[in-house]
Amino acid sequence: MAQIFHPSTNTISRFSIFGALFAVAGLLWLVLFMNRSYYSTQVNVPREQPVPFSHKHHVSGLGIDCRHCHTSVEESAFAGIPPTKTCMNCHSQIWADAPMLEPVRESYRSNESLEWTRVHDLPDFVYFNHSIHVKKGVGCETCHGRVDQMPLMWKENTLQMEWCWSCHEQPETHLRPRDEVFAMGWKPAESQAELGPKLAAEYNVRSALDCSVCHR
């Protein structure tokens, strides 16, 4: 009987069996790699906004405190997005005619909020609370990075759960004195390994790993 397959089929089939193994492993690696890539996490990607608001200019240039705009960060889960009125406090006098600020003035006239693009957006099943983190000595910078150096806002961290977890397991590695929470570029005078546990004891910070801490 005639051969059905060419002799080269042997090599092809052997190769495809081993090849499939590598292909599957490679595909899995690719998926896990993509999950953590800047492309999918949007880390280090400056986002377009209706008005190109610069934290760099307002924070390091003018020295405005975070809480001037994000007023509820110490008392509430949500740090707060300032109303247009907050902008207009100054911009009715300074750069009052700048074309770049027209959407702000338009919002003020029409009483319609500016629709900012949200940069730090957690899933709805995560009940993150800013106030407790501020009270326990976690600096703005710890999660949001050097906001005073960002012309347009970007995410400094992935906000993926493994990132939350890394601090919730060992909170003392990321604590600073309460006075320094809103400071940018703060460095501990002594080593964090000495300061962290002291602050953790003083502020009664424990590792908080129960599911229900963040998921209700």
The residue within the footprint of other proteins, chosen from 15, 24, 27, 35 (CB under 8 A), is: 35
Shortest separation between residue 171's beta carbon and other proteins, angstroms: 15
Structure tokens, 42: 């949007």
Burial 35-46 (b: 16+ CB within 10 A, else e): eeeeeebbbeee
What are the C-alpha distances in Å from 130 to residues 5, 15, 35, 126, 134?
Answer: 68, 55, 26, 12, 6
The phi and psi torsions of 49 (rounded to 5 degrees) equal -130, 160
Shortest separation between residue 204's beta carbon and other proteins, angstroms: 25
Which of the 8 DSSP states describes residue 118? P
Q: Is 13 in the site for other proteins (CB under 8 A)?
A: yes
153 contacts 45 by C-beta, under 8 angstroms: no
- Applying CB under 8 A, the site for other proteins has a residue count of 18
Residue by residue, what is the 3-state secondary structure of 48-84? Answer: CCCCCCCHHHHHHHCCCCHHHHCCCCCCCCCCCCCCH
Shortest separation between residue 165's beta carbon and other proteins, angstroms: 4
Q: Is 160 in the site for other proteins (CB under 8 A)?
A: yes
Q: Which stretch binds other proteins (CB under 8 A): 4-12, 111-119, 131-139, 181-189?
A: 4-12
Shortest separation between residue 41's beta carbon and other proteins, angstroms: 9
User: Residue 183 burial by CB count (10 A; 0-12/13-18/19+): exposed, middle or buried?
Assistant: middle
Q: Is 11 in the site for other proteins (CB under 8 A)?
A: no
The residue within the footprint of other proteins, chosen from 128, 163, 186, 203 (CB under 8 A), is: 163
Residues 182-201 that bind other proteins (CB under 8 A): none
The residue within the footprint of other proteins, chosen from 23, 27, 30, 32 (CB under 8 A), is: 32
Q: Is 117 in the site for other proteins (CB under 8 A)?
A: no
Residues that bind other proteins (CB under 8 A): 1, 4-5, 9-10, 13, 28, 32, 35-36, 158, 160-166
